Structures are given as C-alpha cells and as structure tokens.
Amino acid sequence: MSDSWPRRRLLAILRGASEPLDAQELARVTGQHVTTVRFHLDVLTRESLVRQFQQPPRGRGRPRIGYSAVQRSVGYQDLAQVLADQLGGDPRHRSDAAVAAGRAWGAKLENPDQPIASLADARDITVTTMSELGFAPERDTATETDEQSLIRLTACPLRDLARTHPEVVCGVHLGLMREMIDRNGGRDAVNVRLHPFVEPEMCIARLEALRSTLPDPADLTDMAEVGEPRLAAPVAGRVGPQLRADPQIRNADTHAGKQSTQQR
C-alpha cells in the first residue's frame, strides 16, 4: 500500500468494524467526499487489502457495495521461530525461559476459587484450565494413584508448532500448569511434568504428589511464615508408567528440579 494516510485510516476503520461498510458510511466517518473514499477503496481492493461484498439496498435502488478488511493469517510458524531465536541458542535456556513465560501467562488468568488440599484438587484445576484453553483434557483413571494422576491432552491448539519447537511451546504450557497449581496452594506439594507426543496427537501431563499429605489450605499462611515445609520421603517400590518425555521440558524451572531430585 502506498504511503497514504487516508487509505491507512480507511483500512484501520474497516479492520475494527464488525460488518462491511459502504463508501457513504466511510465518507461520513472520515469526513471525506464519497468520490474520494471510493477512489481509495478501489486502490485498497486492487492491493487485496479489502474485499467487496454486495449488500441489500436501502429502499429502492441498486444493491450497495460494502467493504471489509482482509484478515491476514498469522504466521505462527515464523513467530515460533522468532521466539525460539530470541529465547537463546541453548535448548535448555529456551525451555527455562518458556516455562517462566508460561508462569507469567498463568498469573494473568482468572484464579479458580479452589484451594488445593489433595492431588485430586490439583488434577481438577489442571483439567478445568486446560479444557478452557482448548486442549480437550481427559483423565487417565486407570493409572491414578495416591501419588500421581495422568491427564491426556488430546487437542493441543498449537500442535504443529509444538512438534517443531517443543522447548518453546511445551515449555509455555508446562509453566502455565505449574503456575495455576502454585497459585492455589500446591507449591512444594504437587509437581507437574509434561510428556510431549506420547502418541502422534496426544501429550500427557503427569501430576505427582511430593508429600504424603498435602497441607490444609487454612494453614498455608502459617506455613509461609515459618518457612518451607519438609517433604516426606517417597513411597518405596512405587513405579509410575513409563512415558517418553522431552528432557528439555522435564523440571524446567528451579524449584521443580529440586523436588524431582528428592523423588528419584
């Protein structure tokens, strides 16, 4: 598009409109003569920046021509590559940065009023959050124990990107889940691991209880004042299902890495 302020203004108006607008409506909004508006619309149409639509006439007369801005598709693949490049050259560094970004995202989401007093509470919050974001989560009830719960994520909205940039996309999703659990009282009590593409169209979120008993939500304030609670020793002989996991994603933030060391 040529460097034309009138055309840029018309395009901005059309992008913000909820329905096509005709030349007369645009002339009233911009204060330009309708002939001038039609000239600029013809240029924008030839440059494939706007599209014409036939609209019903107002009263008698010929149908009106409405105009709508062409919505450009977002190049998510290019965006992911840019993000990966900006997050650093080392895959582990990119993973850590992506987890931190996911936590920042989770901090901005509405916090469900459901304090975590059990592994089941953490599972329910995770299922609710990921369902609202379009991941179509499913509980794997056959493998649930007192120490872990598996959630199948069957419809990742960014599946194709995650295949090419798992340390970025999966890292963000992992950080989001950890933040939602931490915000509701699950810090140092429940850890989340993400196992990308255990099947071609499915990932697994594994929630692990890091203590034999989770705190009463009413005691969370007191616990924060006296310091970090001690973790109970892991249950001997308990072996979870063996899943493939990206080592760049597992335990990508600091406190989760310390916890998982205690679990081994």
CATH class of 76-263: alpha beta
What is the pLDDT of the chain when averaged over all its residues?
78
- Token digits of residue 72: 């450009």
> Which residues in the chain are classed under CATH 3.30.1380.20?
76-263
Higher pLDDT, 262 or 18: 18
Higher pLDDT, 62 or 149: 149
For the stretch 208-244, pLDDT in tens is 998 644 455 554 444 333 333 333 333 343 333 444 4
Is the CB of residue 99 less than 8 Å from the CB of residue 175?
yes
Scored b (16 or more CB within 10 A) or e, 105-121 reads bbeeeeeeeebbbebeb
> Which residues in the chain are classed under CATH 1.10.10.10?
5-69
- For 243, other C-beta atoms within 10 Å of its C-beta total 13
For the stretch 133-147, pLDDT in tens is 889 899 999 999 999
Question: What value, to the nearest 5°, has the Cα angle with vertex 133 and ends 256 and 151?
Answer: 50
How many Å apart are CA 113 and CA 91, to the nearest integer?
Answer: 36
For the stretch 184-194, pLDDT in tens is 999 889 999 99
Higher pLDDT, 78 or 1: 78
How many Å apart are CA 11 and CA 5, to the nearest integer?
Answer: 10
For the stretch 79-109, pLDDT in tens is 667 777 778 778 888 899 999 999 999 998 8
For the stretch 26-53, pLDDT in tens is 999 999 999 999 999 999 999 888 999 8
How many Å apart are CA 127 and CA 153, to the nearest integer?
Answer: 9
For the stretch 53-74, pLDDT in tens is 887 777 676 778 999 998 765 5
How many Å apart are CA 182 and CA 187, to the nearest integer?
Answer: 4
Is the CB of residue 193 less than 8 Å from the CB of residue 250?
yes
Is the CB of residue 10 less than 8 Å from the CB of residue 40?
yes
Asked if the model's pLDDT at residue 253 lies above 90, the reply is no
Residue 250 pLDDT grade (very low, low, confident, very high; cuts 50, 70, 90) = very low
Which percentage of the chain shows pLDDT scores above 90?
42
User: Which CATH architecture is the domain 5-69 placed in?
Assistant: Orthogonal Bundle (1.10)
pLDDT value of residue 134: 87
State pTM to two decimals.
0.56
pLDDT value of residue 261: 40
- Token digits of residue 83: 């993000």
pLDDT value of residue 88: 74
Contacts of 196 (CB under 8 A, 6+ apart): 162, 166, 170, 203, 245, 246, 249
Reading phi first (left if > 0) and then psi (alpha if -120 to 50, else beta), residue 71 is in beta
DSSP for 82-116 reads HHHHHT-SSHHHHHHHHHHHHHHHHHHSPPPS---
